[in-house]
Structure 1
Amino acid sequence: MKEHDTYNSLQRPLQHRQPLSCRPTVMMLQENLTLCVPRTSSGRDPHQPVLVHWKQPDECSPNHVLIKVDRFGFSANNITYQALGEHPHFRYFDFNTTPQTDSVSPKTHGIFPVWGFGTILKSTHPKIHEGERVYGYFAPTRYLLVPVSPADVNKHAFYVPRPHLPPDRRPYNQILRCTADPQYSPNPMTEDLTMLYRPLFWTSYWCEDWLFSSNYRRGASLILISSASSKTAFCLAYLIKKRISRKEISRNVKVIGLTSKRNLQFTQNLGHYDEVLEYGSFTSGRAFSTGMDKRWIYVDVASNEQLNNRILAHFASPYSGKLAGCTILGLTNLSPASSAADTVDWTSNTLTLAPTSDGSDTDSISSFWPKFENFFMPEWLEVRKHQLSIAEIFSRQNQAWKELMANCVGWVQIERIYGGAAVKKAYEDVANNGLRPDRGFIWSLWDKEEWICSRL
């Protein structure tokens, strides 16, 4: 594990206190520190983040909590959050409000969400206590002050009211209370793995569940996944292999990954794919010579238009296999500077069990240009809540998570980065050079010593 240390100042240990009443609470805080990024609409370079020093409000209003964000994961998902920050469907910049300072404002800059762990410093809700460990959809900041839905607090979680966002965003508004979270372990390494995999894994998990619910588009035996080195992609491949090992789908199902030449070895070494092919020469792979009677599913994680056109052109041939379905699962090729972020189309998302049990062709296969379907996890999860009990959903998730934590150690090398200046530099490096698939970033705007002291 590689760790970057940039500062040496110390913070006094957090003292556990009794719950506060609901009256406003005066807070004596250090200056806050938040990483902000330019909005595309501002015309500024979106790869130039701003580290903002600003003062937190002096009072904690009723039904609010102040969270000390200890550390958070950073992956290609966060780059997508930024690229789609102003997109009318996703609206990732609408989860947290940008501070108003001389250098940034809510009109010129946004805050991309991050999944991380923190500690409750102040609470004006009687059922939420100071000193609690929490996990949620936070901001890259030191302190995060959020409202709490007064009647939406239970032993497992509480919720941030965001009435300006669609109801299916509720999973993102949930803040988990770690003491009652069956998937939580206080081990720092497990916390790191949680921040890296939990957001991506559940997208992959429910996507595989969606495919399985349709019998893999009535029995497709070849699953083609682009951006195969990304965590979302290889977690999907891992889950398909798990399904095969449980004999719930045929062992003849094969998973083929597409990746770049520089990521080929890493992706092969993961062991999740039956075959890994380079983008430039994928049609020469063994799977592509299996004949015209094979049914394929293409899962597009890269969102690379040129690649997609080549794949569609290949399957347009009457001598190729048939595409039973094309699913858009990710946007790993989308950068905040790309104009493509403004043209992402989400109108074709149906998320239904299209193939019927009687075999009727409600999911008809085009011989030439099959329709791409968008997969958005909260929307499918909303469907599943009407088909499965909450207890069954939790049971399935807990078992899947337990297996992942036992299997994923060693897939990537965790790299921790501490301190505002070091995090800003790391972000700029990623923006300019891209993400290495064999690295998992854990970032903190706190100096290492300050974070350690806050956990004592």
Structure 2
Amino acid sequence: MSTTTSLLIRKEELSSTRLHTATDQPLAEGQVRVRIDSFALTANNITYAAFGDAMNYWQFFPTGEEGWGCIPVWGFASVVQSLHPGVAVGERLYGYWPMASGAVLSPERLSPERFGDGAAHRAALPAVYNQYFRCQADPLYTADTEDVQALLRPLFITSWLIDDFMADNDFFGARTLLLSSASSKTAYGTAFQLHQREGIEVIGLTSPGNVAFCESLGCYHRVLTYDAIDAQIAADTPCVYVDFAGDGPLRAAIHARFADHLRYSCSIGGTHLEQLAAKGAGKSLAGPRATLFFAPAQIKKRTAEWGADAFGRRMTAAWQNFIAAVTDARQPWLRVAHHHGAEAAAAAYAQVLAGRGDPRIGHILSLRERPGGL
């Protein structure tokens, strides 16, 4: 009998992990089993864990063990067993997986490009996370860029939607946007989009050690350290704050400095986990109420307005432009570090959770050992 290994996270103590191996159960009619070959691990996944209960992220891949969860990740898998007539063994899929060596799906609403997972426990969850893209017909897929797709595709979609949401609301009457955690992938993807809009100033906020990296990207008009905000940006500047850091004191300081000149404030995720998880971090702030940006809501709005095909075409064109910049051989924005095997994956998770490392490094994990054991 085959087995599946999963990396489980203690929900109330995200630094506590353990590996769990279980014997695979026989498939039911209409199900498929996949081998999860590789997936990305970024600060975005830590956000999933931090908001696991509030945003239902733990519900996608329930562990059946009280207090323990499995963090969703984005990556690639191959079908190794199929009892569904529309999905063949060997088919390559991109989508939302557990941090595991394998998974079982119940494909429904099949098209040449994608299908949904019809598992009962996922029925009430956002549809955007339940879609699996069939690589042979996926316009965003190229076999030689799987690592970059896993690392940046879900983040860039969020970035693209943030830019679209801001433009859709005329930037709330402001023309200066402040992006915290400017070295993070979702932040610089957002900056890449915003930088293309005339009359908009994009200011990246980051720590001293990441200033040079952020400046090298060319998508920020200015890059400032957090302690330089007061000296470099006038307090009466109409601005929007896009919070990728989840740092409560920083958010409070920005609200206090700009007050009513801060036209909008939203939180995307968090790289400062202890602040992100702090209860009441968004209360009692000067200026506008800080809100959580929820990408599926903008997807739903634009799909209704533009139609699914037009939505896909626009996003694909933006993605291709972004990837061309990221993978430019003269100055690539990203270098990939691979981690093979369950123990290596657990160690990589601890590193990403701690928020340490070179912003140019993207982590690709597999709970399977490297082929050949090397």
AA partner of residue 313 (structure 2): S
| Partner residue, 1:118 | 77
Aligned residues: 369
| Partner residue, 1:36 | 8
| Partner residue, 2:59 | 94
> For residues 388 and 158 of structure 1, what CA distance do their matches in structure 2 show?
21
> For residues 126 and 164 of structure 1, what CA distance do their matches in structure 2 show?
23
Kindly indicate whether residue 317 of structure 2 is the aligned counterpart of residue 399 of structure 1. yes
Point out which structure has higher relative CO (alpha carbons under 8 A, 6+ apart). Answer: 1
AA partner of residue 43 (structure 2): A
> For residues 338 and 399 of structure 1, what CA distance do their matches in structure 2 show?
33
- The verdict on how the C-alpha distance between 1:339 and 1:391 changes in structure 2, with shifts beyond 3 A counting, is closer
AA partner of residue 86 (structure 1): D
| Partner residue, 2:28 | 61
The 8 Å contact of residues 270 and 276 in structure 2, kept in 1 or not, is answered as: no
The 8 Å contact of residues 162 and 173 in structure 1, kept in 2 or not, is answered as: no
**2:152 aligned to which of 197, 212, 231:** 197
**2:247 aligned to which of 304, 325, 344:** 304
Q: Which has the higher strand share?
A: 2
Larger of the two Rg values belongs to structure: 1
> For residues 344 and 166 of structure 1, what CA distance do their matches in structure 2 show?
31
Q: Deviations over 1:170-210 (max 9, x none)?
A: 010011100010110011xx100000101100011011101
Q: Which has the higher helix share?
A: 2
Structure 2 runs not aligned, ≥5 long: none
> For residues 112 and 61 of structure 2, what CA distance do their matches in structure 1 show?
24
| Partner residue, 1:221 | 175
| Partner residue, 2:18 | 50
**1:278 aligned to which of 225, 233, 238:** 225
| Partner residue, 1:376 | 294
Kindly indicate whether residue 360 of structure 2 is the aligned counterpart of residue 438 of structure 1. yes
- The verdict on how the C-alpha distance between 1:165 and 1:140 changes in structure 2, with shifts beyond 3 A counting, is closer
> For residues 432 and 182 of structure 1, what CA distance do their matches in structure 2 show?
35
**1:209 aligned to which of 153, 156, 164:** 164
| Aligned-pair Cα RMSD in Å | 2.3
| Partner residue, 2:262 | 323
Structure 1 SS opposite 2:195: helix
Q: Please give the residue correspondences for 1:67-216 in structure 2 after superposition, counting only pairs within 5 Å.
A: 67-87=34-54, 90-98=55-63, 105-149=64-108, 152-164=109-121, 167=124, 169-187=126-144, 190-216=145-171
**2:337 aligned to which of 412, 415, 431:** 415
- The verdict on how the C-alpha distance between 1:383 and 1:182 changes in structure 2, with shifts beyond 3 A counting, is same
Shift in Å at residue 159 of structure 1?
A: 0.8
Identity score, percent:
31
Shift in Å at residue 330 of structure 1?
A: 2.0
The 8 Å contact of residues 271 and 355 in structure 2, kept in 1 or not, is answered as: no
- The verdict on how the C-alpha distance between 1:141 and 1:165 changes in structure 2, with shifts beyond 3 A counting, is closer
> For residues 67 and 273 of structure 1, what CA distance do their matches in structure 2 show?
40
**1:269 aligned to which of 181, 191, 216:** 216
The 8 Å contact of residues 206 and 224 in structure 2, kept in 1 or not, is answered as: yes
> For residues 210 and 204 of structure 2, what CA distance do their matches in structure 1 show?
11
The 8 Å contact of residues 34 and 142 in structure 1, kept in 2 or not, is answered as: yes
Shift in Å at residue 237 of structure 1?
A: 0.6
- Using the size of structure 1 for normalisation, the TM-score is 0.76
- Using the size of structure 2 for normalisation, the TM-score is 0.92
